[in-house]
Amino acid sequence: MSASHASHASHITPPVTDPTGEDAPTLLVKIFGRDRPGITAGLFDTLAAYGLDVIDIEQVVTRGRITLCALVTAPTGEADGATEGELRATVHSWADSLKLQAEIISGHGDNSPRGTGRSHVTMLGHPLSAESTAAITAAITGTGGNIDRIFRLAKYPVTAVEFDVSGADTATLRTALATKAAAKRVDVAVVSSGLQRRAQRLVVMDVDSTLIQDEVIELFAAHAGCEAEVAGVTEAAMRGELDFEESLHARVALLKGLDASVVEKVRSEVRLTPGARTLVRTLKRLGYQVGVVSGGFTQVTDDLRERLGLDFASANTLEIVEGRLTGRVTGEIVDRAGKARLLRRFAEQAGVPLEQTVAIGDGANDLDMLNAAGLGVAFNAKPLVRQAAHTAVNVPFLDTVLYLLGITRDEVEAADIRD
């Protein structure tokens, strides 16, 4: 037994409510080696001979190597006279026969209680470097947080790992890690732990440059021959330099006289963001409702709603009279405030509290919506938006949002195979 393990085991200070009692002698049995069927059963069969009770089990297999940790009550020697010494000898002899390494650490009681303030930290890299991992984990420690558990969520299309962190305030952790993540060019999302995360039931997305790779008005503009002019106005609006409604009217006016047949052409030109179908399909399977809100046009969002099976879609409508675009929009304008209003309306219609909603967007006009949602995700967003949102994803795959919700790639692929 190493000194460090001995001191770790004696760390149990606050009272433990476990029936074994905080002073009850316990053993941490750790097995490491080449994985094969029957190791877990073999270990517990060996321990069973001593009539021990199981307090905790953790097991992980990494590239064919198993790490199995079992926290069990220590033999009392009262019932059948079996001693800890005998148990140690038996476990080591079993491990040796399978060429496994065994370590048995004596201590007292259960695991130390986890600190208050629980968060899930998701780290995405493409690839994920050791350097950025060092920076993020050091930053977690810097906030007073302790990493209780680490596991991989996905290896494709990005490497995603999740850290379960305790002992740090979620907001503090989020701020500290966001700064580090930006410097190290890695994506980090921090959400508070608890049932809330499992209760998210509505996802509302922006369309242009979020669900799809294009800006729809630019596709229309290309047909009207005023692409450059419109693109300039769009960029200024997205940077927050222009009032959205003014810029919308200015851009739509440039489309005046365009034949209505371009609507079909634009629909066929729209390119979904990689991972968009996977995201929507997986969310629908999980029972989420999914909607889009767009400062673009219903002429395109209605088509997307049908193609993707979305529950909600709202956008501005291009006015068409006698087969031609009039250069005006009709109905309620979907701008920055409008998007947040629609998120609330969809949530109400879906019967989902606002805290259980997720919003995804890239532009300044998404900010109110991102902040109103329970979880706001800035997707490949402008710096202004990235800084203001709860979390940011900067890899170009929309399905990575699933990892922020704690859904693993394996679960996504298993569901795809099943259907």
Residue numbers of the site for Mg ion (CB under 5 A)?
A: 206, 208-209, 362-363
- CB of residue 236 vs Mg ion: minimum separation in angstroms? 14
Cβ proximity to Mg ion, 65 vs 271, nearer residue: 271
- CB of residue 349 vs Mg ion: minimum separation in angstroms? 23
Distant-in-sequence, close-in-space partners of 228: CB < 8 Å, separation ≥ 6 = none
Q: Which candidate in 35, 110, 206, 366 is catalytic?
A: 206
Distant-in-sequence, close-in-space partners of 289: CB < 8 Å, separation ≥ 6 = 201, 202, 203, 311, 312, 346, 350, 352
Q: How far apart are CA 97 and CA 112, in angstroms?
A: 33
- CB of residue 359 vs Mg ion: minimum separation in angstroms? 12
Phi-psi region of 21 (alpha: psi -120 to 50; beta: other; left: phi over 0): left
Give the residue carrying structure tokens 């998007």. 339
Cβ proximity to Mg ion, 206 vs 368, nearer residue: 206
Q: Which candidate in 110, 208, 366, 399 is catalytic?
A: 208
Cβ proximity to Mg ion, 55 vs 329, nearer residue: 329
- CB of residue 395 vs Mg ion: minimum separation in angstroms? 17
- CB of residue 344 vs Mg ion: minimum separation in angstroms? 19
Active site residue 419: no
Q: Supply 315's token pair.
A: 């956008």
Give the residue carrying structure tokens 């405030």. 337
Give the residue carrying structure tokens 């509290």. 353
Give the residue carrying structure tokens 């200070």. 13
- CB of residue 394 vs Mg ion: minimum separation in angstroms? 15
Cβ proximity to Mg ion, 187 vs 362, nearer residue: 362
Cβ proximity to Mg ion, 170 vs 209, nearer residue: 209
Which residue from 366, 368, 371, 374 is spatially nearest to 350, judged by alpha carbons?
374
Exposed e or buried b per residue across 244-271, where buried means at least 16 C-beta atoms within 10 angstroms of its C-beta: bbebbeebbebbeebeeebbeebbebbe
Cβ proximity to Mg ion, 12 vs 212, nearer residue: 212
Inter-CA distances, 386 with 140, 317, 360, Å = 20, 29, 11
- CB of residue 305 vs Mg ion: minimum separation in angstroms? 17
Which residue from 172, 153, 173, 169 is spatially nearest to 161, judged by alpha carbons?
153
Cβ proximity to Mg ion, 291 vs 363, nearer residue: 363
Active site residue 206: yes
Distant-in-sequence, close-in-space partners of 389: CB < 8 Å, separation ≥ 6 = 367, 370, 371, 376, 377, 378, 381
Exposed e or buried b per residue across 394-410, where buried means at least 16 C-beta atoms within 10 angstroms of its C-beta: bbebbbbbbbbbbbbbe
Contact, 276 vs 308, CB < 8 A?
yes
Residues forming the active site: 206, 208
